[in-house]
Amino acid sequence: MNAPVNGFRYHWVLFDADHTLFDFDRSAQESIKMTAREFGIDQPLDYADYHEINRRCWEEYETGEIDRDTLRYKRFRLFFEMKGVTADPVTFHDRYLEQLPHLPFLMDYADEILSHLHGRVKMAIVTNGLPEVQRPRLEIAKLTHLFDVIQVAGEVGVAKPDRSYFDLLFEQMGKPDKQGVIIVGDSTTSDIKGGSDYGIDTCWFNPAGLENRAGVMPTYEIRHLSELHQILEDETADQPA
Ligand SMILES: [Mg+2]
């Protein structure tokens, strides 16, 4: 285990954005509601169904089965087919995406932990999310200044868990010692697998207590972001999960 610096075990904390710092589901739900109202869609749109379709499409994107443009529209095409909605999924999607950054809901305790860590450790945003959502949303949420590096997959052309994503990231970070770097994220297939393959410590943010099906073990597992205090700061709590 690393020697603590200024009471911190890690010099760099890499945060995933969606479902880790941002309550993406709430933002998406609100944006779909607003867009549906604008489009005059009368059918009730059950968000849980969209969420499941969206999750499957993201998995296809992360495993390389579909590209980013297909991901954008496929999820609404499938959702509208399921609900019998006749609106054009492409224009609906574009409007949905336009509104999304303006609805930046944070996960419980995200604000607190980021403010606490700011100035004490270096922090990065490592996201596979869409560029037109990620940067404006960080700005609107007034969080941009907290991060030393922001790496958006859609901008660099590679995504987590790819090794090349982390190569580019470490380049931007000034090639720090891997032992002093930890990634915190909700996805076992992108955040935890990516970090683990790259040889850095990982913290799986698993608020719902889901079963780990990725076949890769995180260094730590937490249910709430406040647990990061103990992992990042407390020398005596270094028992890997
Ligand atoms: Mg995520």
Q: Are 90 and 148 in a shared domain?
A: no
Say yes or no: 72 and 137 in one domain: no
Which among 102, 120, 153 is the end of a domain?
102
Check whether residue 204 and residue 120 sit in a common domain: yes
pTM: 0.86
pLDDT at 129 over 90: no
Range 213-231 burial, b when 16+ CB lie within 10 A, else e: ebebebbbbbeebebbeeb
* Rounded-to-10 torsion of CA 105, 225, 54, 92: 10
Radius of gyration of the chain (CA): 18
Question: pLDDT of 144-172, one tens digit each?
Answer: 999 999 999 989 999 999 999 999 999 99
Active site residues: 16
Number of domains in the chain: 2
Distance 42 CA to ligand 1 centre (A): 31
Whole-number Å distance, alpha carbon 66 to ligand 1 midpoint, is 18
Residues with Cβ within 8 Å of 86's Cβ and at least 6 positions away in sequence, in order, are 80
Whether 51 maps to a domain, the answer reads: yes
CATH number at residue 142: 3.40.50.1000
For residue 235, how far is its CA from the centre of ligand 1 (angstroms)? Answer: 27
pLDDT in tens, 66-91: 998 899 899 999 999 999 999 999 99
What distance in Å separates the CA atoms of residue 87 and residue 149, rounded to the nearest whole number?
A: 39
The span from the CA of 153 to the CA of 95, in Å, is: 22
202 and 122 assigned to the same domain: yes
Looking at the chain, the whole-number percentage of residues with pLDDT higher than 90 is 82
45 contacts 114 by C-beta, under 8 angstroms? no
Separation of 86 CA from ligand 1 center, angstroms?
30
Which residues have a Cβ under 8 Å from the Cβ of 108 and sit 6 or more positions away? 224, 225
Same-domain status, 219 and 110 = yes
Residues 92 and 208 in one domain: no
Angle subtended by helix axes 47-62 and 24-38, to nearest 10: 120
Residue 113: inside a domain:
yes
Q: What is the pLDDT of residue 31?
A: 94
